[in-house]
Structure 1
Amino acid sequence: MISAGRQETFMAVILITGGARSGKSRRAETRTQAFPGRPVYIATAEALDAEMEDRIAKHRARRGADWIEREVPLDLVQALVETEGGGARLVDCLTLWLSNLLHSERDWSREVTHLAEVLPRLRSPVIMVTNEVGLGIVPDNALARTYRDAAGIMNQTFAGVADEVEFVVAGLPMKLK
């Protein structure tokens, strides 16, 4: 898909959102593999405990060996620039990236803005997974509210620059944009 004002060689920026365990990652993997070239998986998660190690292992097993994998907890722009010109890139997931930025005390707003400015200039497709965290109750503590608010702003920012946005519920994608 080529949007007005985009470079002629640009393929797509696709944002896939939904709740926990909604099927976002599986949908994003399918969309990424539909593009030509060897897909690149850009993982923002860090294996900090046994549960996360298990989750990462299950995702790797499901994807198989056809993917190029990059572990990038913080520097997404650099990873996207370094992987230009190959297959589609899957960033999984933006809300973990946001959490990493907050824990590293980096300026999350500046990082989000920078990535949003870079995305339209990239040529190879980028599929991004993010969690919708604003559909539940208002969190009872300041840190959780800060995270929820930042995630909402981040998701709106990336939805604004994306060519396509999908919301996944119970494994079923709904096209929003």
Structure 2
Amino acid sequence: MAVILITGGARSGKSKRAEMRVRAFPGRPVYVATAEALDAEMEARIAGHRARRGTDWIEREVPLDLGEVLVASDGGGARLVDCLTLWLSNLMHAERDWEREVSALAAALPRLKSPVVFVTNEVGLGIVPDNALARSFRDAAGIMNQIIAGVADEVEFVVAGLPMKLK
């Protein structure tokens, strides 16, 4: 079993890299999507990801209950979770206890049999946001990324489509 965390900025090539890593494992890959198509622009983004991946993936749409889906899909092909920061945003918007949810996810990962590749955004490299909500999200994302990186077997940082191995 492997837990791989792939992080980087927006449009850095994280998802493409994660797809390649998942395809390297045996079995039919599972794509766990945390995004919701709430507007036309997000619908187009999701369609672009689907077109790039092709039709050989099993797809699960999971805006909130990520841990449960990973446990339920365990024992099959490798799973790609794209992405943790959207999942975090969904949790915060739903007013769920994101710290408890992230801790539960981190605790469950070592017990899984099938590989999991997570995509997450590194949001702490820019300027300090000008409002409390954005600062809260940035801080939560940093904490979440540290927790998942701590239990991951591998961590990669992708810049301009180039992966750098951190762990």
**TM-score of the aligned structures, taking structure 2 as reference length:** 1.00
- Which ranges of 4 or more aligned residues in structure 1 deviate by more than 3 Å? none
Equivalenced residues, count: 167
Could you say which residue in structure 2 is the equivalent of 1:100? 90
Identity, in percent, stands at: 83
Amino acid at match of 1:99: S
Amino acid at match of 1:54: A
Amino acid at match of 1:169: V
For residues 155 and 98 of structure 1, the distance between their equivalents in structure 2, rounded to whole angstroms, comes to 10
Structure 2: 5+ residue stretches without partners: none
Could you say which residue in structure 2 is the equivalent of 1:71? 61
Structure 1, residues 81-123: CA drift from partner, whole Å, max 9, x if none? 1111100000000000000000000000000000000001100
Query: Over aligned residues, Cα RMSD in angstroms?
Result: 0.3
Residue 142 of structure 2 is aligned to residue 148 of structure 1: no
**Correspondence 1:151-162 to 2 at 5 A:** 151-162=141-152
Could you say which residue in structure 1 is the equivalent of 2:158? 168
For residues 85 and 154 of structure 1, the distance between their equivalents in structure 2, rounded to whole angstroms, comes to 25
Amino acid at match of 1:149: D
For residues 55 and 120 of structure 2, the distance between their equivalents in structure 1, rounded to whole angstroms, comes to 24
**TM-score of the aligned structures, taking structure 1 as reference length:** 0.94
For residues 85 and 17 of structure 2, the distance between their equivalents in structure 1, rounded to whole angstroms, comes to 17
Could you say which residue in structure 2 is the equivalent of 1:4? none
For residues 84 and 148 of structure 1, the distance between their equivalents in structure 2, rounded to whole angstroms, comes to 30
Q: CA deviation at 1:15?
A: 0.1
Residue 38 of structure 2 is aligned to residue 84 of structure 1: no
Structure 1: 5+ residue stretches without partners: 1-10
